[in-house]
Amino acid sequence: MSKNLVIVESPAKAKTIEKFLGNDYTVKSSFGHIRDLPKKGLSIDKENDFKPTYEINPEKKKTVSELKKIAKQASTIWLASDEDREGEAIAWHLCEALGLDSKTTKRIVFHEITKNAIEEAIKNPRTVDLHLVDAQQARRVLDRLVGYELSPVLWRKIRPGLSAGRVQSVAVRLITEREREIKAFVPEVNFKVTTELETNNNELFQAELSDRLNSQDEVLALFESLKNAELKVANVEKKPGVRNPSAPFTTSTLQQEASNWLSYGVKQTMLLAQKLYENGHITYMRTDSTVLSKQALSNIASYIETKYGSKYVETRQYATKNQSAQEAHEAIRPTNIAQSQAGDDDQQRKLYELIWRRTVASQMSAAKIEKTNVDIEITGRTDKLIGKGEVLVFDGFLSVYGRGKEDKILPKLSNGDKLQLKRALAKESYSRAPARYSEASLVRKLEEMGIGRPSTYAPTIGTIQDRGYIEKKDLEGEEKPIKQVTLESGEITTEEIMEKFGADRAKLFPTHLAEVTTDFLVKYFLPIVDYDFTAKVEDEFDRIANGDNKWNSMISDFYKNQFHPLIESSADISRSESSQARTLGNDPASGKPLVARYGKYGPMLQIGEAEDDEKPKFAPLPEGTTLESVTLEQALEMFKLPRTVGKTSSGQEIKANVGRFGPYVQVDKNYYSIRGQDPLTITEEEARKVIDEITEKRKPIKEFSSGIQILNGPYGPYIKKDKKNARIPKGADPAKLTENEAQELLDKAPDKPKRRFSRKKKSK
Half-sphere exposure of 182 (CA within 13 A, CB side): 15
Regions of the chain with pLDDT less than 50: 323-327, 755-764
Distance CA 401, CA 397 (A): 6
Distance CA 404, CA 446 (A): 28
Distance CA 1, CA 21 (A): 15
Contacts of residue 23, defined as CB under 8 A and 6 or more positions apart, other chains included, come to: 2
For the whole model, what pTM was predicted? 0.78
Q: Cβ–Cβ contacts within 10 Å for residue 255, how many?
A: 30
Q: Is residue 284 flagged as an active site residue?
A: yes
Terminal Cα distance for the chain, rounded: 61
Q: Cβ–Cβ contacts within 10 Å for residue 72, how many?
A: 11
Q: What is the pLDDT of residue 359?
A: 97
Contacts of residue 58, defined as CB under 8 A and 6 or more positions apart, other chains included, come to: none
Distance CA 764, CA 754 (A): 31
Contact 685, 649 (CB under 8 A): no
Distance CA 532, CA 528 (A): 10
Read out DSSP for 378-411?
ETT-S-EEEEEEEEEEE-GGGGTS---SPPBPPP
Q: What is the pLDDT of residue 579?
A: 64
Q: What is the pLDDT of residue 327?
A: 45
What is the enclosing helix (H) or strand (E) of 567? helix 564-569
Task: Compute CA distances 301 → 117, 294, 319, 360, whole Å.
Answer: 20, 11, 19, 8
Distance CA 156, CA 580 (A): 14
Query: Per the residue annotation, which of 25, 264, 277, 284 is the catalytic one?
Result: 284
Contact 298, 313 (CB under 8 A): no
Distance CA 236, CA 591 (A): 75
Q: What is the pLDDT of residue 156?
A: 85
Q: What is the pLDDT of residue 627?
A: 81
Contact 636, 603 (CB under 8 A): no
Distance CA 450, CA 323 (A): 10
Q: What is the pLDDT of residue 704?
A: 92
Q: What is the pLDDT of residue 716?
A: 82
Contact 94, 107 (CB under 8 A): no
All structural domains of the chain: 4-128 (3.40.50.140), 155-184+436-570 (1.10.460.10), 189-244+367-430 (2.70.20.10), 251-362 (1.10.290.10), 579-638 (no CATH), 643-698 (no CATH), 702-748 (no CATH)
Sheet with 106-107: strands ordered across? 25-29, 4-8, 76-79, 106-107
C-alpha 721: how far from its chain's center? Answer: 38
Q: What is the pLDDT of residue 760?
A: 43
Task: Compute CA distances 329 → 287, 359, 442, 477, whole Å.
Answer: 6, 15, 24, 43
Q: What is the pLDDT of residue 758?
A: 41
Q: What is the pLDDT of residue 68?
A: 92
Q: Cβ–Cβ contacts within 10 Å for residue 340, how many?
A: 15
